[in-house]
Amino acid sequence: MLTTMTLPHLQARTLTDILAPVQTDLRAVEARMRAVTMEQHASLTYAMNHLLAAGGKRVRPAMTLLAARLFDAPRERSIALASAIEMLHTASLVHDDLVDGSLLRRGLPTLNAQWTPAATVLAGDFLFARAAELAAEAESVPVMKAFARTLMTIVNGELTQLFLGHGVASRENYFRRIYGKTASLFAVAAESPALLAEAEADYIAAMRRYGEEAGMAFQIVDDILDFTSDESHLGKPAGSDLRQGLITLPVLCYLDQNPEDPNLARLLDGRTGDATLVERVVQAVRTSGAIEAARDEARAFVCRAQAALSGVPDNAHRQALHDLVEIFVERDV
């Protein structure tokens, strides 16, 4: 096993251990995200509190803060940066849920389940603007450029998906989609503290690579959990990706192992509206070897993320980033 082979000390390290050095900064991020910086309509304040209370794992700002320590980036500006990353993530979820028509996220009603589409569009726009304001507080032009570029990548990916439909069920399409959706933001989460610290170009590139690979692993595991976890953990019914017609890595692995499965063939033919059929395939994937195969692919991304770290100076914070991605892949929530 990768874990025991390369990281024997990890067995005893929990996420709490890894994040201990940045816990205070993470609380500062939380406060910064909730800060109201202009006289704003009460509904906006309500929406922001609702979205931020839903929480989420805050893995992106944690990565940013650890990377900031690694490069000894200025503390206040790093906190602004980490807040900007998570705010951008939150903003994109608001429009995402609207585009998908999702009614639940993390067990709470989405904003568009409660508001009109018009209000939801504007609330998302406000959060994007607030993310831009927080990013500007990091006071770095290269960071601003990386931010804007990332938002373009995320949106371009969503729009491509919307126009293409779900396309051919292939790893190429799947990896391209999760790069746009998730890995691009992890890339900037890891890279931007190096930009902020004006680190040398090789270090910046290594951190970007680390973030990309880590983001891919993170999304694959999210897609696995969509099959293996239950509604109380997911905050939405299990198998919801497939119900939406979304083909993720566990399904692709299942297809590799069971190329002749008639139920899956019918599903891939576009029969995603047939609830009984979807339920059968969800059960089949969940109990098959596809789950472990998909997790192995996630481990390979983790391995490449860790390898990328060999290109930056070694210290305790580099070790924390190394261990953090290990936990991404072994988590069960």
Report the interface residues with its own copies, using CB under 8 A: 37-38, 40-41, 43-44, 95, 98-99, 116-119, 121-126, 128-130, 132-133, 135-137, 139-141, 144-145, 147-149, 151-153, 155-156, 158-160, 162-163
* Closer residue to its own copies (CB): 94 or 290: 94
Alpha-carbon distance of 45 to 43, in angstroms, equals 5
* Shortest distance (Å) from residue 46 CB to its own copies: 10
Q: Residues near 226 by Cβ (< 8 Å), separated by ≥ 6?
A: 234, 238, 239, 240, 241, 248, 250
In this complex, which beta carbon is closest to its own copies, that of residue 63 or of residue 98?
A: 98
Do residues 157 and 206 touch, judged by C-beta distance below 8 A? Answer: no
Q: What is the largest CA-CA distance in the chain?
A: 60
Residue 23 contacts by C-beta under 8 Å, 6 or more apart in sequence?
Answer: none
Q: Which two tokens stand for residue 319?
A: 């070790």
CB of 3 to its own copies, least distance (A): 37
**Dihedral angle over CA of 17, 18, 22, 26, nearest 10:** -90
Q: Is 315 left (phi over 0), alpha (psi -120 to 50) or beta?
A: beta
* 3-state helix/strand/coil string of 205-274: HHHHHHHHHHHHHHHHHHHHHHHHCCHHHHCCCCCHHHHCCCCCHHHHHHHHHCCCCHHHHHHHCCCCCC
Closer residue to its own copies, CB minimum distance, 37 or 49: 37
Distance (Å, whole) CA 215 – CA 220: 9
134 vs 268 by CB, closer to its own copies: 134
Shortest approach of its own copies to residue 116 CB, angstroms? Answer: 8
Q: How far is CA 202 from the centre of its chain?
A: 25
Q: Which is nearer to its own copies, 80 or 242 (CB)?
A: 80
Find residue 44's DSSP bridge partners. Answer: none
CB of 245 to its own copies, least distance (A): 14
Q: Residue 30 Cβ, how far from its own copies at the closest point, in Å?
A: 20
Cβ closest to its own copies, residue 133 vs residue 241: 133
Question: Toward its own copies, which CB reaches closer, 29 or 224?
Answer: 29
Q: How far is the CB of 72 from its own copies (least distance, A)?
A: 21
- Least CB distance to its own copies at residue 78 (A): 16
Distance between the two ends of the chain, CA-based, in angstroms?
Answer: 21
